[in-house]
Amino acid sequence: MNSKTIARNTAWYGLENLIGFVTSLITSIAIARTLGPAKMGYIIYVTWITGIVANLGSVGIPATTRKYMAEFLGASDYATSRFIYIRTLFIQASVAAVATLFAVVWVMRDAPPDYRVAALLLVLSVWPTMTNSVPAQANVAAENLSANLPASLVSTATYFILTMLAVVLHWGVIGIAFAMFSMRVLDFLVRIIPTTRRILAWDPGSAQPLPHLRARMMSFAAQSVMGMLLTLVVWDRSELFLLKHLTPDIRQLSFYSVAFNLAERLLLFPTIFAAATGASILAQYGRDRTKLPAMTAASARYIALISIPIHAIAVPLAAPALLVLYGKQYIGALLVASVAPLLCLPKAFLGPIQSLFESVDRQKFFLITTVIASFVDIGVAWYLIPAHGALGACIGSGAAQITAVGLMWAIAIRQYRIQLPWSFILKVIAISAAASLAAYGVAFRLPPLGGLIGGAITAIVVFLALAYLLKMLEPEDCDRFKVISNACPPALAAPVNYLLDRFTRRMAPDSTAV
């Protein structure tokens, strides 16, 4: 049951994120090439500040909606889930209105005249962004990630068209801000109307919360907000603030952002899987919480299979990819781009462990480890940025992520007896490292485009060959992947299943069998 649900949600969430990935990549490249690293640096900083305001309001209440709706839906209690949605939506909309009002007043008083209109558009988009988080998380709680796709399609298409017009017609910062404002408003409207209509159709029952539910929800929301404040330091590139104030070269913000953006796009596939798995982990708490450790370990297994090869192979290909996509004006970001894939890798393993802590109401573990990682981030970045600029910021971020994720998994393994498949993970690391070295041997001998293509092909061939020779997959892996392949048309399912069998280790026959 869980395998089919995770597979279905992975497909829907994957389609949604893949569309956003392609669109954001194209628009970011167009903007970066048009503005150059100097002008781009200031825009990145302003956009980052605006994003913080929206993100701070997109946790707490929405995370509470996801956690408790999933718990009660897992127990088939639709009346309580309906009550939770209505109550949290109203509270979130009210908080968003207050936050937006204060932001508008601040912009009108303090924003530079040349950026006032653009800043006003960005802060006005805070309300739909914050409010939109509740219906989005309600769909996740219902393990119905396909319901989030229409809004993403419409808003992404709108943003893409308006951004490209702003670049071609030289609308500047105002054009980019208007594109973002339009995207967020449409995303909100297309998502909230059908989601609310569907949930209101559920049987309201007595429409009264269970005893102590309010206290649990308030405690969880407060912990989520605190977690988000810490997340801003460790996970949301707080190094941009230090770069802005510790280095006189504004281009370092662009170098860091461009390189780290490329690396974080590698998280697309593990993030898709982690989100789908996380929804099932939260719901599983209401079904049978004894299976949570096994689900979490299985999630780590498949995230390792997806993310470790991608990030390892990206190391030798990052520099040629950056030159091909962004041009020689970003040559100062080559070293940062080369180390960023490995430093971003720990983030791939954050989703399952965070969902586990949320499901069992132990967010304190997330908070404690993130506090420790925050000090690591600020300390390392503060020390390295003055001399090394963007590279120092990248190392600080990577050190913090390694610290946070490592401590979280160590706590979970001890507290919940999670048994990670270490031999499998080591096998994936060894095969990925060999493929990465092979890619490097080709890429550094060729010009950027040839090195990118030739290195990628070489890495894929070496990885698949070693995976076949070493029989990377276990029978249980093969069975789970066939859940996905068997949902495809027979013409596609048959060859995929054949390949899965070739990469799977065969179990030794039972010697006791007669």
Domain boundaries, the chain: 57-210, 219-420
Tens-digit pLDDT string for the chain (514 aa):
444 555 555 555 555 566 666 776 777 777 676 666 766 655 666 666 666 666 655 556 777 788 778 878 877 888 888 888 888 888 888 888 888 888 788 778 877 777 778 778 888 888 998 898 889 888 888 767 677 778 888 888 898 899 888 888 888 778 888 988 999 899 999 999 999 999 998 888 765 556 666 666 666 666 666 666 666 655 666 777 788 778 888 788 888 888 888 888 888 777 666 665 555 555 555 566 677 788 888 888 888 988 999 999 999 999 999 999 888 888 888 999 999 999 989 988 988 888 788 777 777 888 788 888 888 988 998 999 998 988 999 999 899 989 999 999 999 898 888 888 888 899 999 999 999 999 999 998 999 999 999 999 999 999 999 999 988 888 877 777 776 677 677 777 788 888 888 888 876 555 444 3
User: Is 254 within 8 Å of 40 (Cβ atoms)?
Assistant: yes
Tokens representing 114 are: 């040349």
User: Is 416 within 8 Å of 292 (Cβ atoms)?
Assistant: yes
Residue with tokens 């825009």, as numbered in its chain: 43
Residue 181's DSSP bridge partners are none
CA 364 to chain centre: 21
Burial label, 480 (beta-carbon count in 10 A; 0-12, 13-18, 19+): buried
| Number of neighbouring beta carbons within 10 Å of residue 491 | 7
Read off φ and ψ for residue 434, nearest 5 degrees: -65, -40
DSSP-derived secondary structure letter, 505: P
Tokens representing 484 are: 């996905």
DSSP-derived secondary structure letter, 473: B
User: Is 81 within 8 Å of 202 (Cβ atoms)?
Assistant: yes
Give the span between the Cα atoms of 428 and 435, in whole angstroms.
Answer: 11
User: Is 349 within 8 Å of 269 (Cβ atoms)?
Assistant: no
> For residues 220-248, b (16+ Cβ closer than 10 Å) or e, as one string?
bbebbbbbbebbbbbbebbbbbbbbebbe
Give the span between the Cα atoms of 353 and 227, in whole angstroms.
Answer: 14
Residue with tokens 């208007």, as numbered in its chain: 178
Print the SS3 string covering 104-138: HHHHHHHCCHHHHHHHHHHHHCHHHHHHHHHHHHH
CA nearest neighbour of 440 among 418, 459, 421, 419:
459
Tokens representing 19 are: 């569309």
pTM above 0.85, yes or no: no
Question: In 3-state terms, what secondary structure has residue 215?
Answer: helix
